A and B are shown apart, each in its own frame.
Chain A
Amino acid sequence: MDTNQYLDMFIEESKEHLQACNEQLLALENNPDDLGIVNEIFRAAHTLKGMSATMGYEDIADLTHKMENVLDAIRNSKISVTTEILDVVFEAADDLELMVLDIEAGGNGKKDVSVLVDTLNRIEAGEPLDLEENASIAATTEESATAVVTSSGIHYDDFELTVISQSSEQGFNAYEITVELREDCLLKVARVFMTFEILEKSGEVIKTVPTVEKLENEEFDQNFTIVLLTHEDADDLKAKIMKVSEIEEVRIKHITDEYIKKYKQIEFEQHDEQPQEKPNIADTLPAATEKAKAAPKEATQVKKTNHASSNKTIRVNIDRLDILMNLFEELVIDRGRLQSIASELHNPELNESVERMTRVSGDLQNIILNMRMVPVETVFNRFPKMVRTLARDLNKKINLEIIGAETELDRTVIDEIGDPLVHLIRNALDHGIESPEERIAKGKPEEGTVTLRAYHSGNHVFIELEDDGAGVNRERVLGKAIERGIVSEEIAPTLSDRQVAELILASGFSTAAAITDVSGRGVGLDVVKSTIESLGGHISIDSKEGKGSLFQVQLPLTLSIISVMLVELDQEIYAIPLSSIIETAIVQKSDILNAHNQPVIDFRGTIVPLVDLKEIFEMENRREEEDFQSIVIVRKGESLAGLVVDSFIGQQEIVLKSLGNYLQSVFAISGATILGNGQVALIVDCNALIK
């Protein structure tokens, strides 16, 4: 009953509908003649209107209503789709989004939309053909403050009447449902609530008499009336409501178009005489009472089918999933502990049950991780509109292709990845794609193409952004890099094209001749790089001058449980993430060469520098002269390094823990974990060890 409890759902669903609106509007722009798309938008806008009206957000309802009028005119071929019209509709969608966000932030969703409403009205009235009809609609909507009083005692304002007539066009039935409670009914509010619950499963409640607040405060006699839009049959509805106990009788009246017309007439005649509040409905609603007792069997059947369809998914608060995840992490730690105890005790029965537990918890881990997976779509779907707006601002023609939006990623990664991607796309649009004139001069199609691709590969998700723009200009980038002191003049000519391209990710680099407000205020792509690296990911650039660039972002599937290789260093245990390990090797001391005071090894034809972890981690026990040395080959992008360790312990799944606020960024350590024996082991950050 209390609309507050539906607020979350309202916000969620509004966002979904707005998203659908935006997507379809973009599609409409490409196929202005496809009326099917207009219908889709219309439907989304219509649902939004109904929901917001029920929740009492009049401004949203008003704006969507106007939007709907314009769409309706388009649908009926009264006006044709033009970019100008779409711009206004887009703007309306933007405003709606702002209002929904305002509601989400605890505001009242109010916004001055009069200018937009005016523009929409003008568009709608732009064609002489539909002037008359729309004028009448516009006229009536302006009077929406004055209520219409019907013969059945229910007031409908113009807005509600329009909703009812429009939904009947779409095959919804509008019913006035009057419920009479038994005189000895004790829990009136509860019965009202139960009735509402039933009706809201069947359709949309657009109005109640008395108002929701009054019903909640029990400020009504034995009866109340609900106006419902539904596909269901009146008899079925009645049977369902009668299942609620302590209900005396249910009367259902179908509101037809003629009915509405009649109301309007009556309103004309009675407008001045009728009081605004009309309390007693029961006496004036004689229709449809005789069918009060419908067959109960039929009713249960309907109920069952309803159940099946509504039970497929449930919405779970992300906090609960986080708690579940935390608990599971504890379990993983205990599992590790059990494993180490079992391996010490050599008891076959214990081993067996520990193994079984390991398997089960492994499955459980997959399920929990999967539950937290969200399609990247949730991030991607705001890009088409962003690209459209940006392309217009920059006077460029750009086509955005999205591939693999269904690829799933952990929720925590999704939350973080949005901003870096926005940055990359802005960069591609602003600096990548050339202006149409330039493109034609270069013999390229006038319209630039930007492809956003996501796919799974191994334990990683790749997100790629490819454009067919100008690519990285080697000379300019090098010039800038030297000027900024990022590379020295001597090294510059030796860098490969890829290395040059990656210079644009270096901090303090921004090649755009003038700082535009599109791609940043000189913040540069280094922010993108550091964000992605903080997520345990990696970004690389492949660019061909004149042909375009490919930005590839590699991300881990999940952030909280990772596979590591445990290694021993002077009795201390360190963990190296498997994701950065290429392989492990044991090399003979004589195979270690010295290149300019830097020990290196020849690893399958590549010269790999060695990093002595003991030295990095300031351990006192220097390496004794051993004949063989254990080496973990790790990589960061294209570069490799060999980490010298004392010995390998083995592979293990661990739970990533932060070192806390006090120890902020320890060199070459990305976090910590708790081992099976309760000890803390530190996780080596390979990215920091490779330059």
Chain B
Amino acid sequence: MAKAVEVSDMKVIVFQLMNKEYAIGLDVVESIEKSLSITRVPRMPSYVKGVLNLRGVVTPVVDLRERFDMEPKEFDESSCIIIVSHADSEVGLIVDDANDVMDVPTSVIGPQPEVVGSVESEFISGVAKVDKRLLVMLNLEKVLQPIKKVNADEL
């Protein structure tokens, strides 16, 4: 880390999904919430868990596991909701665990390795190797593409 002093650092929040470590910039994170009561919103993709009341603001919640087509998991003690602000509104992201804030020198962030069949590749903006940990940097732009009109024909 000594070298990092000269290079610009990026503060990130590290969270876990399926025992892998992911990171998003601290600047977009508003807060981290433990369990809050979520109201289901009908006719949404399965990864949209619903909305919750975040201090008077109705905030949608996305389950990142399901967003990345991973095996779903019940909300448990270590689970938490990271509230990020994106495109002028706030969205909650359900993750397995979030427990670390790190400085990542921008120099160690590289493009993600080309892996054939990597499902979530479009959601990733890069990979950072810090010490022995490999952090996957999320591309929020893609992850939080607005849910457009869901039309129902049957009535």
Residues of A in contact with B (beta carbons under 8 Å apart): 330, 333, 572, 611, 616-619, 657-669, 672-674, 678-682, 689, 691
Interchain CB contact (< 8 A) of A662 among B42, B52, B91, B152: B91
Give Cα A678 to B51, complex, Å. Answer: 12
Interface string of B20-47 (1 = CB under 8 A from A): 0000000000000000010111111000
For B149, what are the chain A residues with a Cβ–Cβ distance below 8 Å?
664-665, 667
For A689, what are the chain B residues with a Cβ–Cβ distance below 8 Å?
155
Expressed in whole angstroms, the minimum distance between the Cβ of B57 and any Cβ of chain A is 7
For B48, what are the chain A residues with a Cβ–Cβ distance below 8 Å?
663
Number of interface residues of B (CB under 8 A): 33
**B56 contacts A661, CB within 8 Å?**
no
**B144 contacts A662, CB within 8 Å?**
yes
**B39 contacts A333, CB within 8 Å?**
no
Interchain CB contact (< 8 A) of A330 among B56, B60, B144: B56
Given A659-B60, A662-B91, A667-B150: A680 and B51 within 8 A (CB)? Answer: yes
Given A657-B57, A660-B59, A663-B60: A682 and B89 within 8 A (CB)? Answer: no
A-B contact pairs, 27 of them (CB 8 A): A330-B56, A617-B43, A659-B41, A659-B60, A660-B59, A661-B87, A661-B88, A662-B86, A662-B91, A662-B144, A663-B51, A663-B147, A665-B149, A665-B150, A667-B149, A668-B43, A668-B152, A669-B42, A672-B51, A672-B58, A678-B53, A679-B53, A680-B53, A680-B58, A681-B39, A682-B39, A682-B51
**A662 contacts B56, CB within 8 Å?**
no
Across the two chains, which residue of chain B brings its CB closest to A572?
Answer: B40
Interchain CB contact (< 8 A) of A680 among B39, B89, B90: B39
In this assembly, does B3 line the interface, its C-beta being within 8 Å of a C-beta of chain A? Answer: no
Across the two chains, which residue of chain B brings its CB closest to A679?
Answer: B37
**B148 contacts A664, CB within 8 Å?**
yes
Expressed in whole angstroms, the minimum distance between the Cβ of B16 and any Cβ of chain A is 23
For A617, what are the chain B residues with a Cβ–Cβ distance below 8 Å?
42-43
**A659 contacts B58, CB within 8 Å?**
yes
Across the two chains, which residue of chain A brings its CB closest to B61?
Answer: A662
**B152 contacts A667, CB within 8 Å?**
yes
Expressed in whole angstroms, the minimum distance between the Cβ of B66 and any Cβ of chain A is 15
In this assembly, does B151 line the interface, its C-beta being within 8 Å of a C-beta of chain A? Answer: yes
Residues of B in contact with A (beta carbons under 8 Å apart): 37, 39-44, 48, 50-53, 56-60, 62, 86-91, 144, 146-152, 155
**A662 contacts B146, CB within 8 Å?**
yes
Across the two chains, which residue of chain A brings its CB closest to B52?
Answer: A680
Give Cα A662 to B140, complex, Å. Answer: 12
**B42 contacts A678, CB within 8 Å?**
no
**A666 contacts B42, CB within 8 Å?**
yes
**B41 contacts A682, CB within 8 Å?**
yes
**A660 contacts B155, CB within 8 Å?**
no
Give Cα A682 to B52, complex, Å. Answer: 11
Across the two chains, which residue of chain A brings its CB closest to B56?
Answer: A330
Across the two chains, which residue of chain B brings its CB closest to A690?
Answer: B155
For A664, what are the chain B residues with a Cβ–Cβ distance below 8 Å?
146-149
Given A667-B150, A679-B53, A680-B53: A662 and B43 within 8 A (CB)? Answer: no
Give Cα A572 to B148, complex, Å. Answer: 24
**B51 contacts A659, CB within 8 Å?**
yes
Give Cα A691 to B154, complex, Å. Answer: 11
Interchain CB contact (< 8 A) of B89 among A661, A669, A673: A661
Give Cα A661 to B137, complex, Å. Answer: 23
Give Cα A430 to B146, complex, Å. Answer: 40
For A681, what are the chain B residues with a Cβ–Cβ distance below 8 Å?
39
Given contacts A330-B56, A662-B89, 17 further A-B contacts (CB under 8 A): A611-B155, A616-B42, A657-B57, A659-B51, A660-B58, A662-B60, A662-B144, A663-B147, A667-B150, A668-B43, A672-B51, A673-B58, A674-B53, A678-B37, A680-B53, A682-B41, A689-B155
Across the two chains, which residue of chain B brings its CB closest to A688?
Answer: B152
For B59, what are the chain A residues with a Cβ–Cβ distance below 8 Å?
660
Give Cα A235 to B110, complex, Å. Answer: 82
Across the two chains, which residue of chain A brings its CB closest to B150?
Answer: A667
Expressed in whole angstroms, the minimum distance between the Cβ of A336 and any Cβ of chain B is 12
Give Cα A674 to B57, complex, Å. Answer: 9
Give Cα A665 to B89, complex, Å. Answer: 15
Expressed in whole angstroms, the minimum distance between the Cβ of B84 and any Cβ of chain A is 10
For A658, what are the chain B residues with a Cβ–Cβ distance below 8 Å?
58
**B155 contacts A666, CB within 8 Å?**
no
Give Cα A665 to B59, complex, Å. Answer: 14
For B62, what are the chain A residues with a Cβ–Cβ distance below 8 Å?
662
Give Cα A665 to B150, complex, Å. Answer: 7
Expressed in whole angstroms, the minimum distance between the Cβ of A501 and any Cβ of chain B is 24
For B60, what are the chain A residues with a Cβ–Cβ distance below 8 Å?
659-660, 662-663
Across the two chains, which residue of chain A brings its CB closest to B86?
Answer: A662
For A660, what are the chain B residues with a Cβ–Cβ distance below 8 Å?
58-60, 89-91
For B89, what are the chain A residues with a Cβ–Cβ distance below 8 Å?
660-662
Expressed in whole angstroms, the minimum distance between the Cβ of A218 and any Cβ of chain B is 45
**A666 contacts B41, CB within 8 Å?**
yes
Expressed in whole angstroms, the minimum distance between the Cβ of B115 and any Cβ of chain A is 29
Given A662-B147, A667-B150: A618 and B42 within 8 A (CB)? Answer: yes
**A661 contacts B155, CB within 8 Å?**
no
**A666 contacts B90, CB within 8 Å?**
no
For B88, what are the chain A residues with a Cβ–Cβ distance below 8 Å?
661
For A673, what are the chain B residues with a Cβ–Cβ distance below 8 Å?
58
For A619, what are the chain B residues with a Cβ–Cβ distance below 8 Å?
42
Give Cα A673 to B41, complex, Å. Answer: 13
Give Cα A538 to B89, complex, Å. Answer: 29
Given A663-B41, A669-B42, A680-B51: A691 and B155 within 8 A (CB)? Answer: yes
Expressed in whole angstroms, the minimum distance between the Cβ of B94 and any Cβ of chain A is 14
Across the two chains, which residue of chain B brings its CB closest to A664?
Answer: B146
For A665, what are the chain B residues with a Cβ–Cβ distance below 8 Å?
148-150
Expressed in whole angstroms, the minimum distance between the Cβ of B67 and any Cβ of chain A is 12
For B41, what are the chain A residues with a Cβ–Cβ distance below 8 Å?
659, 663, 666, 669, 682
Across the two chains, which residue of chain B brings its CB closest to A326?
Answer: B56
**B44 contacts A663, CB within 8 Å?**
yes
For A666, what are the chain B residues with a Cβ–Cβ distance below 8 Å?
41-44, 147, 150
Centre residue among B57, B58, B60 by max chain A CB count within 10 A: B58
For A678, what are the chain B residues with a Cβ–Cβ distance below 8 Å?
37, 53
Give Cα A618 to B45, complex, Å. Answer: 12
Expressed in whole angstroms, the minimum distance between the Cβ of B102 and any Cβ of chain A is 27
Give Cα A673 to B50, complex, Å. Answer: 13
Expressed in whole angstroms, the minimum distance between the Cβ of B90 and any Cβ of chain A is 7
Expressed in whole angstroms, the minimum distance between the Cβ of A362 and any Cβ of chain B is 20
Expressed in whole angstroms, the minimum distance between the Cβ of A74 and any Cβ of chain B is 54
Expressed in whole angstroms, the minimum distance between the Cβ of B120 and any Cβ of chain A is 19
Give Cα A624 to B35, complex, Å. Answer: 32
